[in-house]
Amino acid sequence: MSEQTARRGGTVWALVITSVAGFMAALDNLVVTTALPSIRKDLGGALDDLEWTVSAYTLTFAVLLMFGAALGDRFGRRRLFLTGLTIFTGASAAAAMSTGINGLIAARAVQGVGAAIMMPLTLTLLTAAVPAAKRGMAYGIWGAVNGLAVASGPLIGGSLTEHVSWHWIFWLNVPLGIALLPLARLRLAESYGTGAPLDIPGTLLASTGLFGIVYGLVRGPADGWTAPLVLTGLFAGAALLTAFVLYSLRAKNPMLPMRLFRSRAFSGINAASLLMFLGMFGSIFLLSQFMQGVLGYSPTEAGLRMLPWTGMPMLVAPVAGILSDRIGGRPVVAAGLFFQAAGLGWMAAVVDPGVSYAAQLPALIISGIGMGLFFAPAANLVMSSVRGTEQGIASGANNALREVGGALGIAIMSSIFSSQGGYDSAQTFVDGLQPALVTGAAVVAVAGAAALLIPRHRAAHPTQAAPAEDPAPTLDPIAG
């Protein structure tokens, strides 16, 4: 077998392994939402308990992402990827076998721990295995798979619940995880980051700060924004994150070097990612309910009718990755965000208790094109804006901001929905949905403006240690 053939095979295996792992982690963000009535019927529990089956995963996932990336940089990215995948798979089996609501919540929290370790390492491992000239296309496929997972969670969860059982939402992960473990061990090359000591103070400040912020955002709509625990979480979280920034500016080996944000590319793409997920998550959360509660579709029917939006990234993202290789990521990302904003604005203009599917279809297609254009170049911009030894923590930071953006989007748009409408009738639901969608469109448009701050050409980061060079023919990992 020639070196070129072996190299191509290693690239394909890395793409398959990291894309499937990313799909599993991203899918579990929203896969539970359409199954909550069935879970409550089987396991009991109050409404707050059911909400925690969603938020327990989001919390642990968001607050431990950067720590998971730091562990991979220090002890080996493949090794920690395998560890995270093992934890995630085992917790999925525990969730599927839960006989009580508290056990399910605990399993979901452990799932989030595994995903936080596994998810940020998928991009660094993929980058190490793919030649520089092919990374845009590889990121495109990776982004398409992950974007589909995030957006199709309600469809997959609803279909499995409706036609099989809610337990299979979690059982689905088990054979995939078991299949990936030996493949990852044999087909992925090991790589490391800087080798610096773990930043324990920074990790504690960032993790507890993010926990406070995300806890407050998740609980705000249910408990009220003036509830003592909500206010404590938000203010304490903000104070701890401020302390984290001040500490990181002075620390010798910080978990997240603040100098990375001197790069317009790194700062711009992270701001755009947070705002994109804010608008997208909040919109999907409400539109899924609109299609079921107002238009009368079953979970499966609603998911199928959203496919022009949720399935479009599978078609568009690979093309977007190729385009980003040729013209740079900035124009592709910005175009995707403005398409997404236009689609949400169109949907806000046409939603009505009796709206036809034909009237919604253009908005869904435009939103889907926008989502597909965003994911692949965004990943490329994140990874190319820092040096190779810092790609793990850069990926972790970007994923953490996306998760926080998603939680923020659901919280803000749910609050707008509640203040302007409600569940009393189809009309009151639309009365709340329209201003929420307008807000989502505006936020995503601001994300597009943030993307325009990214340098026009992908110049190397000031501290970048030539990650654009091809890895050695033997697929040696990227290292500093």
CATH number of the structural domain 3-187+255-451:
1.20.1250.20
User: DSSP 3-state assignment of 163?
Assistant: helix
89's CB contacts (< 8 A; 6+ apart) are 114, 173, 174, 176, 177, 178, 181
Do 273 and 378 form a contact (C-beta atoms < 8 A)?
Answer: yes
Return the percentage of the chain with pLDDT > 90, whole number.
24
Joined together, the tokens standing for residue 22 give 């990313």
Region of 279 (left: φ > 0; alpha: ψ -120 to 50; beta: rest) is alpha
pTM comes to 0.74
Task: State how far the Cα of 161 lies from the Cα of 37, in Å rounded to an integer.
Answer: 10
Do 386 and 394 form a contact (C-beta atoms < 8 A)?
Answer: yes
Break the chain into its structural domains and give their ranges: 3-187+255-451, 199-254
- Summarised one tens digit per residue, pLDDT across range 353-383 is 988 989 999 999 999 899 888 877 887 788 7
What is the per-residue pLDDT for 448? 92
Nearest 10 degrees: CA dihedral of 55, 61, 63, 69? 180
224: amino acid identity, one letter: G
H or E element in which residue 209 lies: helix 200-223
Task: State how far the Cα of 229 lies from the Cα of 369, in Å rounded to an integer.
Answer: 40
31: amino acid identity, one letter: V
- Summarised one tens digit per residue, pLDDT across range 164-185 is 888 998 998 999 999 999 999 8
Stretches where the chain sits below pLDDT 70 are 1-10, 45-48, 50-51, 147, 150-151, 194-196, 388-389, 392, 457-480
Q: What is the CA radius of gyration of the chain?
A: 21
What is the per-residue pLDDT for 1? 47
What is the per-residue pLDDT for 81? 93
Binning the chain into helix, strand and coil, the percentages to the nearest 5 are 80, 0, 20
Which of 466, 456, 430, 281 shows the shortest CA–CA distance to 354? 430
In which residue are the tokens 């968001």 written?
62
